[in-house]
């Protein structure tokens, strides 16, 4: 048990710091920690920043060298993310491509598929979105009705996806579709890679409670993709889709707590300046949030140690997801409490736009966090059944 | 970065787990909690002679083995799983740390070898009838009398106060308040003028005493008037030990709940298949794992003796207190009627959780202390 860097880790940390201090300047630095999966602020600058990261191979840093990666291990990835968060660098755009699709592609893709897609993810020339949820397939994801049928050397896709974050920005979508007519449940699904820029794909924005519209409905009407753009075996899409979800629930939260720490610090500063920090209840709540964010760090370090030793993260990633999403939701509520009447007003300039302050953003966007990537109730089922071994619900 | 126990530490855990399982069965816990001393002297001797547990973190120069708080935390966690009835917490977490923090080299050489060998059972008497865990709670006056020191006043909630043959006492100089003027003293258990009364405790698995001092001659420990920083550190270290003990108990009741939820059938199916029960267990696991993370991390910080200790000690004590109590309460609920009976062990853990929560300051107290310590 030792929480200090090894000499090699310390040297790597220095390398990251040097790169960031050299590159995270000017308008990039001015972005602060802005942005997120449901927050498009500063988009163009963030895209440019993302390409700067890609240019120096900090996008795809864990990938094998033959695909342009740096082959970094888990510890190094965490160190990078720690330094990235400490530097208050912009939120990453490439989450769906780099964070979700790429690891799935590396695990299940052919050499041709990897060579085709990974370089474009790294150069940020192609963004990805996730075609999972449907109107009748939310927590019960295996109920997807979108179907794909073979027509010569192409798949023809029909159906509707929903809550598709950044579909309007993405060039590609990984789509879970039913390729075996008449199949139900987990069987007969395939994981298709579908280009977004085609007549058969229609994107309709959905306005969120935050006022902005980062997610969308996506309608496939005889949309087409090449027959070889199936990840994994045809009919084996469920396993591939679950692997992606594992990455989504996986290691991201380990460095996320640094961004959370900063949010908490800002809330504490406001409480100190408006006097709420003198109130016993507020002090209890702020201390409790502090405890939570530290424990997130300790849990993350324990999980990372386990990951390094065993190579897989497994269902215990559900514990991390359940913990951070609930913690963040409570933080958002406490931020409102600390603001008091200041919480009543949103747009500071009075320009008629519904523009959220940073604390409102935490308060509202955190409501999505206990829903996406498997709702908290689903996480509790996973923990109950796959970690504790409790019997499944009869179905 | 490495957040795992070493192979040697895992071996220590195995040895202690086997020992505690053998010596602290539920039957044995129930037998001992009904006795006045509340522990088995033979087991205490075996802990010292066969396992060397009392000497674990005492430096080698004072008759110990020189291990760190991480090893100590393992022992507390394993004891907590089985509610081992023993003056170990009083002796090792409280008295030994107080002596290590406050004592001069000569005083340590005089006091610690007896603890290390298991001959001495010791405790720390600092809480008073006012029930406070901070410096202001100490009102007992130490006065100089003919070249020696004399103590007058009452100490309460003294853990294993009746069992200890060495009592470390915190008292203050007349006319001082707060953190100033606090000193440590030692007295023997049979000192003249000391009246010891065993208290009727809600949690019967850990004994407490009232100690009344009437002109008791006491030996100074450490520098006069400079005791607070050593006491504060002792309380932090003891909170770390108690946090690990609580984490062990919390894991044990979670296992108990999950086992029962798998076998208890209602409505034609195991109750663990119902989400109402399954989700309770999932939340318990999240809290138990988090409690362990906090407890282990705090043990590392205590072992390193770094500047993080005060913050992580309060953090760990607050979180583990809440998590342990919640786990024991849910354990009763999941067991239903049987969980409310005297013969089921659920209440033993429920009561131990509540007493552990209150001892050294409850979660509310530690969250406030934490707020101060992180500058809110």
Report residue A177 as tokens.
């579709």
Find the distance separating the first CA and the last CA of chain B, reported in whole Å: 29
List for chain B the helix, strand, coil content (%; round to 5). 55, 15, 30
Q: What is the 3-state secondary structure (H, E, C) of A134-162?
A: ECCECCCHHHCCCEEEEECCEEEEEEEEE
Model pLDDT, residue A311: 74
Q: Among the listed ranges A287-301, A343-357, B85-99, which one has the minimum average pLDDT value?
A: A343-357
- Poorest-pLDDT segment among A18-27, A311-320, B9-18, B130-139: A311-320
Of B258, B286, B296, the CB nearest to A319: B286
pLDDT of residue A393: 84
The H-or-E segment that residue A292 falls in is helix A280-310
pLDDT confidence bin for A346, thresholds 50/70/90? confident
- CA dihedral angle for residue A372, residue A374, residue A379, residue A381, rounded to 10 degrees: 140
Closest CA to B334 of B355, B354, B349: B349
Whether B270 and chain A come into contact, CB under 8 Å, resolves to yes
Query: Chain B: nearest CA to A141, how far in angstroms?
Result: 18
Q: How confident is the model at residue A256 (pLDDT cuts 50, 70, 90)?
A: confident
CB spacing of A384 vs B2 below 8 angstroms = no
Note the pLDDT tens digit of each residue in B319-347: 999 999 999 999 999 999 999 999 999 99
Residue A69 and residue A114: Cα distance in Å, rounded?
Answer: 12
Checking if the pLDDT of A342 tops 60, the result is yes
User: Do you know the residue count of chain A?
Assistant: 395
**pLDDT at position A356:** 85
Distance from CA of B218 to the nearest CA of A (A): 40
Q: In the predicted model, is pLDDT for residue A34 greater than 60?
A: yes
Average predicted confidence (pLDDT) for chain A: 91
Dist. CA B314–CA B298, nearest whole Å: 9
Given a cut of 60, whether residue A250 has pLDDT beyond it is no
Residues of chain A with Cβ-Cβ distance to B368 below 8 Å are 280, 283-284, 287
Q: How far apart are CA A17 and CA A83, in angstroms?
A: 7
- Sign of the CA dihedral running B345, B76, B156, B127: negative
B223 has a pLDDT exceeding 70: yes
Contact between residue A393 and residue A380 where contact means Cβ atoms under 8 Å apart: no
pLDDT tens, residue by residue, B113-149: 999 999 999 999 999 999 999 999 999 999 999 889 9
Distance CA B186, CA B180 (A): 19
Asked if pLDDT for residue A248 goes beyond 90, the answer is no
Instruction: Say yes or no for a CB contact (<8 Å) between A388 and B285.
Output: yes
Whether B1 has its CB under 8 Å from any CB of chain A: the answer is: yes
The confidence score (pLDDT) of residue A379 equals 93
| The pLDDT value given to residue A349 | 62
Q: Do A394 and B273 touch (CB under 8 A)?
A: yes
Tell me what pLDDT residue A214 has. Answer: 84
- CA dist B194 and B188 (Å) reads 9
From chain A, pick out residues whose CB is under 8 angstroms from the CB of B297: 3, 298, 301
Q: Best of B293, B298, B311 to disrupt the A interface by mutation (most A CBs within 10 Å)?
A: B293
- Calculate how close chain A gets to B331, using CA atoms only, in Å: 15
**Predicted local confidence at residue A38, as pLDDT:** 54
Is the CB of A299 less than 8 angstroms away from the CB of B374?
A: no
pLDDT at B95 over 90: yes
Return the pLDDT at A304: 84
| CB-based contact B367 A268, cutoff 8 Å | no
3-state secondary structure of A42: coil
pTM of the model: 0.94
Asked if A3 lies within 8 A of B283 by C-beta distance, the reply is no
The percentage of chain A sitting over the pLDDT mark of 90, rounded to a whole number, equals: 73
A9 interaction partners in chain B (CB closer than 8 Å): 1
Q: Is A379 on the interface with B (CB under 8 A)?
A: yes
**Cβ proximity of B253 and B349 under 8 Å:** yes
DSSP A92: P
Provide the angle, in degrees to the nearest 10, between the axes of the packed helices B309-335 and B346-358.
Answer: 150
Do the Cβ atoms of B273 and A290 come within 8 Å? no
- The answer to whether residue B69 neighbours chain A at the CB level (below 8 Å) is no
Q: Is the pLDDT of residue A350 over 70?
A: no
Taking CB atoms and an 8 Å cut-off, how many pairs form between chains A and B? 151
Token digits for A149?
């049928």
Measured in whole angstroms, how far is the alpha carbon of residue A123 from the centre of its chain?
Answer: 19
Using the Cβ of B312 and the Cβ atoms of chain A, whether some distance falls under 8 Å is answered with yes
Distances (CA, A) of B169 to A150, A188, A276, B121, B175: 84, 73, 39, 14, 18
Rounded average pLDDT over A94-103: 90
Q: Which of A300-309, B125-134, B174-183 has the lowest mean pLDDT?
A: A300-309
Looking at beta carbons, which residues of chain B come within 8 Å of A395? none
Contact B185, B171 (CB under 8 A): yes
Q: Give the CA angle between residues B307, B312, B316 to the nearest 5°.
A: 160
A389 touches chain B (CB under 8 A): yes
- ipTM surpasses 0.95: yes
Looking at A31-147, list the stretches that DSSP marks H as alpha helix, in order from N- to C-terminal side: 43-55, 74-86, 102-108, 111-122
pLDDT at B374 over 70: yes
Closest CA to A21 of A69, A72, A88: A88
Of residues A388, A389, A246, the one with CA closest to residue A317: A246
Rounded Cα distance, B120 and B116, in Å: 8
Mean pLDDT computed over A364-383: 93
Q: Which residues pair with A159 in a beta bridge?
A: A220
- Could you tell me what percent of chain A has a pLDDT over 70? 94
For residues B225 and B183, is the Cβ–Cβ distance under 8 A?
Answer: yes
The predicted-structure confidence for B18-45, as pLDDT tens digits, reads as follows: 999 999 999 999 999 999 999 999 999 9
How high is the mean pLDDT of chain B? Answer: 97
Asked whether the predicted pLDDT for residue A36 surpasses 70, the reply is no
| B319 inside 8 A of chain A by CB | yes
Distance from CA of A297 to the nearest CA of B (A): 9
User: In this predicted structure, what is the pLDDT of residue B242?
Assistant: 98
Contacts of B14 (CB under 8 A, 6+ apart): none
Place of tokens 């963004």: A127
Whole-number pLDDT of residue A269: 98
Are residues B331 and B261 in contact, defined by beta-carbon separation less than 8 angstroms?
no
Burial letters A80-110, b for 16+ CB under 10 A, else e: bbbbbbbbbbbbbbbbbbbbbbbbbbbebbe
- Of the partner residues B278, B319, B364, the one whose CB lies closest to the CB of residue A390: B278
How many C-beta neighbours within 10 Å does residue A66 have?
11
Work out whether the CA dihedral A133, A136, A141, A145 comes out positive or negative.
Answer: negative
Quick check: is A355 catalytic?
no
Option in A9, A287, A393 nearest B370 (CB): A287
Which one is catalytic: A83, A98, A126, A248? A248
What pLDDT, on a 0 to 100 scale, did the predictor assign at position B85? Answer: 98
- pLDDT, residue A116, reads 97
Listed in sequence order, the residues at least 6 apart from A363 whose beta carbon sits closer than 8 Å to its beta carbon are A332, A333, A335, A336, A343
CB atoms within 10 A of CB A361: 21
Per-residue pLDDT at A313 exceeds 80: no
Residues A388, A394 contacting (CB under 8 angstroms): no
- Residue A255 pLDDT > 80, yes or no? no
């Amino acid at each position: 048990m030792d929480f200090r860097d090894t000499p090699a880790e310390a040297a790597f940390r220095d390398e990251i710091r040097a790169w960031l201090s050299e590159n995270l300047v000017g308008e990039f630095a001015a972005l602060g920690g802005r942005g997120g999966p449901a927050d498009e602020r500063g988009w163009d600058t963030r895209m440019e920043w993302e390409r700067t990261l890609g240019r120096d191979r900090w996008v795809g840093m864990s990938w094998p060298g033959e695909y342009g990666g740096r082959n970094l291990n888990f510890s190094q990835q965490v160190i990078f993310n720690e330094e990235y968060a400490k530097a208050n660098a912009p939120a990453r755009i490439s989450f769906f491509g780099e964070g979700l699709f790429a690891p799935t592609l590396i695990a299940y893709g052919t050499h041709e598929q990897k060579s085709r897609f990974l370089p474009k993810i790294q150069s940020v020339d192609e963004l990805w979105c996730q075609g999972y949820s449907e109107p009748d397939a939310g927590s019960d994801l295996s109920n997807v009705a979108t179907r794909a049928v073979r027509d010569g050397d192409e798949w023809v896709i029909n159906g509707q996806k929903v809550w598709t974050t950044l579909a309007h920005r993405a060039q590609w979508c990984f789509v879970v579709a039913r390729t075996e007519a008449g199949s139900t449940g987990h069987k007969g699904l395939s994981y298709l890679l579908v280009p977004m820029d085609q007549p058969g794909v229609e994107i309709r924005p959905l306005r969120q409670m935050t006022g902005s519209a980062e997610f969308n409905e996506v309608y496939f009407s005889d949309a087409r993709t090449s027959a070889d753009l199936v990840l994994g075996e045809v009919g084996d899409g469920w396993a591939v889709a679950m692997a992606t979800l594992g990455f989504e629930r996986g290691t991201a939260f380990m460095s996320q707590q640094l961004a959370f720490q900063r949010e908490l610090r800002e809330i504490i500063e406001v409480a100190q300046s408006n006097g709420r920090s003198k109130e016993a209840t507020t002090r209890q709540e702020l201390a409790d949030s502090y405890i939570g964010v530290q424990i997130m760090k300790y849990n993350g370090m324990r999980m990372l140690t386990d990951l390094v030793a065993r190579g897989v993260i497994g269902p215990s990633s559900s514990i991390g997801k359940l913990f951070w999403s609930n913690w963040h939701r409570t933080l958002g509520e406490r931020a409102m409490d600390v603001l008091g009447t200041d919480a009543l007003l949103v747009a500071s300039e009075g320009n008629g736009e519904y523009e959220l302050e940073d604390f409102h953003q935490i308060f509202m966007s955190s409501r999505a966090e206990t829903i996406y990537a498997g709702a908290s109730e689903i996480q509790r089922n996973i923990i109950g059944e796959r970690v504790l071994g409790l019997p499944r619900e009869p179905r | 970065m490495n957040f795992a126990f070493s192979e040697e530490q895992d071996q220590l855990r195995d040895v202690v787990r086997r020992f505690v399982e053998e010596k602290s069965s539920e039957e044995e816990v129930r037998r001992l909690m009904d006795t006045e001393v509340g522990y088995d002297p033979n087991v205490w001797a075996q802990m010292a002679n066969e396992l060397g547990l009392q000497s674990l973190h005492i430096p080698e120069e004072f008759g110990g083995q020189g291990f760190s708080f991480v090893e100590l935390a393992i022992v507390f966690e394993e004891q907590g799983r089985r509610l081992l009835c023993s003056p170990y917490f009083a002796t090792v977490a409280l008295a030994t740390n107080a002596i290590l923090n406050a004592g001069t080299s000569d005083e340590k050489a005089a006091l610690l070898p007896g603890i290390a060998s298991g001959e001495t059972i010791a405790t720390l008497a600092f809480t008073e009838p006012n029930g406070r865990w901070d410096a202001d709670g100490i009102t007992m006056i130490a006065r100089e009398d003919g070249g020696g020191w004399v103590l007058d006043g009452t100490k309460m909630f003294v853990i294993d106060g009746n069992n200890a043959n060495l009592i470390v006492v915190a008292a203050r100089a007349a006319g001082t308040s707060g953190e100033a003027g606090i000193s440590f003293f030692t007295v023997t258990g049979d000192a003249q003028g000391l009246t010891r009364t065993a208290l009727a405790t809600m949690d019967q698995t850990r004994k407490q005493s009232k100690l009344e001092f009437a002109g008791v001659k006491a030996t100074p420990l450490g520098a006069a008037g400079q005791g607070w920083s050593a006491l504060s550190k002792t309380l932090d270290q003891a909170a770390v030990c108690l946090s690990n003990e609580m984490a062990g108990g919390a894991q044990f009741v979670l296992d108990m709940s999950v086992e029962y939820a798998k076998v208890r059938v209602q409505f034609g199916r195991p109750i663990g298949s119902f989400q109402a029960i399954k989700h309770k267990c999932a939340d318990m696991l999240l809290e138990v794992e988090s409690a362990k993370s906090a407890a282990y991390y705090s043990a590392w910080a205590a072992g390193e003796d770094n500047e993080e200790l005060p913050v992580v000690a309060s953090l760990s004590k607050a979180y583990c207190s809440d998590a342990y109590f919640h786990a024991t309460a849910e354990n009763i609920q999941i067991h239903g009627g049987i969980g409310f009976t005297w013969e089921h062990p659920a209440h033993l853990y429920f009561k131990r959780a509540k007493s552990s929560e209150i001892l050294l300051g409850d979660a509310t107290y530690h969250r406030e202390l934490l707020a101060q310590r992180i500058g809110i």
